[in-house]
Amino acid sequence: MSLVREISALWGEYLNDGAVEADDNFFELGGNSLIGIKIIERVAQEYGVELSVRAFYLAQTPTRVAELIEQGRAGT
């Protein structure tokens, strides 16, 4: 499974009854600060990458969050 699909599935656990596409917007799906923090914590646990709340909110889509994770893994 690609990282983007993994992140979409992770978001789906918290948003929109599990139906999250790669370019869906976090806030348009009903995302809020509490859900964002939960997802950020899961990313840290499962991928070993610490995302800032600001970066997560600016990313807004699973595709962009996956890019942040890849950057974090690469140390950039």
pLDDT for res 48: 96
CATH number at residue 29: 1.10.1200.10
Contact indicator for 32, 25 with CB cutoff of 8 Å: no
Say whether pLDDT at 19 is over 90. Answer: no
Residue 19 or residue 69, greater confidence: 69
Mean pLDDT score of the chain: 94
Which domain covers residue 67, as residue numbers? 3-74
What is the tally of structural domains in the chain?
A: 1
Stated pTM of the model: 0.91
In 21-38, which positions are buried (b, 16+ CB within 10 angstroms) versus exposed (e)?
eeebebeebebeeebbee
